[in-house]
Structure 1
Amino acid sequence: MIRVLIVEDDPMVAELNRGYINRMDGFKVVGIKADGKEALEYISKKQVDLLVLDVNVQKINGLEVLIQIRKSQKDIDVIFITASREKGVVGKALKLGVIDYLIKPYTFERLQEALEKYKNQYLLLNSNAEIGQAEIDKLFKRTVSVEVPKGIHRKTLDKINKYLSTASREIRVKEMSTALKISEVTVRHYLDYLTEKGYLYKDLEYGSMGRPTILYVMREQ
């Protein structure tokens, strides 16, 4: 059972988070704390696996809580659920090893996705067996998770995602078409869709002669 501590100063949001998390198999909310100081005091005495933490809590803010956890070398993971959208905050959270970052208001489905991903990682890293390259690749694999609209087929999108997960950042339509045995028109259609979603952007590659070639480039995650 994964023990979860919620750190949230809004009682209604805290209870909402508790209800969501307790609906998930394999998770148990062991407590709710209203500020960072209370959270640090609790984890100094009790065992906690996962902290669901707001950045903007009182006394000691969420980032400082995370910094102190890292300094203490406690084996605790953190998911931020916060209204904070500042790039500097998000960047610092990533560098400090936060598991996920949810912006309020969020949906249960988004939290469910974060918790399921974490549970899979937790179970893998806490098993007695050695971890092979395939399992490690799953932990670090780049994936594109999007809802499938009309005109986009899941199986084809899965093929595109699988290719992108192992490709270099610069994607050439012709190379991708050959590798996947999918027409260039179809490949370009799906890459344009992912570009609209913000996962890719277009660039130009200039050769020695003729018109430049359009490249699709994966954005930094």
Structure 2
Amino acid sequence: MNLSEVTYPRDTKNRVQNLLVQEASRQPKLIPRWRKPAMLTFAGLALAGTTAGGVYVALAPVDDKRDIRCYYHADLTTRMPVIGSPGETRPPYITTGTFIAGFDTENNPNPDDKNAGMQQVNDPINQCSRAWDIGIMNQGGVTDDLIPEGFVSPPDGPRGDRPLREGADKDQNGNPLSSGPVSIAIGHYVPFLTACVVDNTVAVIPGPAEVCARLGIPALEK
């Protein structure tokens, strides 16, 4: 996946890499932050140092977190097939969010705001973990390649009284997948997820912390 295949200028990745190398050799410990024009998508780009694998990570903030992208794979461009509609495809992600209870859509004060009536998502990883848990991210087996050998997926339908394997009701950070005293988690496979930034939108992508850098995009600044 090359940066030039997405929506960035062709020389953006090379310029960012050169800046990272120069900055690393000049100040290996103290890493400054700076801002770039929003039109470059790398708004608020900052150096965050290196990951365990030695990959430099750029960070970018996202002010509007009402609409979160959950990607099927660490792939920003390959479109997914539409089940039941041969030849049709859909984006390489789904969008998810949380609606404000009682919001009056008929009297929307901001009709031009496509995310009107939705809350800011404080935990994008948890939000997309829920989508993976209930099976939305593996309809038609499109992400079977990510499921480790020996993992037993739950049968279709609501969980009911079916016992849940230990830890399946929480995300990778130990946060519950559902609110309330009773868990409604289903138990489908949830891969390790990382929050990146694509098109000034939070993009939660399956993969380790360095997956954003490998794809040539910034990680989400927390």
* TM-score normalised by structure 2 residue count: 0.30
Tell me which structure has the larger Cα radius of gyration.
Answer: 1
* TM-score normalised by structure 1 residue count: 0.30
